[in-house]
Amino acid sequence: MSKLELTVAGPRGLQVPVNLTVYKKQQRVRIQVMTHDVTREEAQQIQAMVAQAAQLEVLGGSDPASEAIVHETLANHAREHAEQEQQARLAAQSGQQQPR
């Protein structure tokens, strides 16, 4: 397996990070857009552009349902992390207000 990390010109002047993972044994390449700053359609266009530049044939992609699970999981994790940070700040503040 080999992994290439690229930055390509994307929509709206964005520089978009893209990973190309080459699975030699399986004779497959995974093209993965590594940002949520582009829409699904834009990500698909970027993947098609990278595939064309690398002379690869696109056989399939992820479906919206599985992507929704990933997005929901990431959002839940971010929300939990923010709540933990807020609790830590409140605990630190209450500890500072106590007389010593």
Do 69 and 53 sit in the same domain of this protein?
Answer: no
The whole-model pTM stands at 0.62
Q: How many Cα atoms are found within 13 Å in the side-chain-facing hemisphere of 97?
A: 6
Which comes out higher in pLDDT, residue 69 or 38? 38
Give the range of the structural domain holding residue 79, as residue numbers without chain letter. 63-100
Do 3 and 38 sit in the same domain of this protein?
Answer: yes
Do 31 and 68 sit in the same domain of this protein?
Answer: no
Q: What does the pLDDT look like over 17-56, one tens digit per residue?
A: 999 999 999 999 999 999 999 998 999 999 999 999 999 9
Q: What does the pLDDT look like over 82-92, one tens digit per residue?
A: 999 999 999 88
Do 50 and 1 sit in the same domain of this protein?
Answer: yes
User: CA-CA distance, 54 to 48, in Å (whole number)?
Assistant: 10
Beta bridge partners of 29: 22
Do 50 and 89 sit in the same domain of this protein?
Answer: no
Domain count, the chain: 2
CA dihedral 80, 85, 87, 88 (to 10 degrees): 140
CB 50 within 8 A of CB 20: yes
Do 42 and 15 sit in the same domain of this protein?
Answer: yes
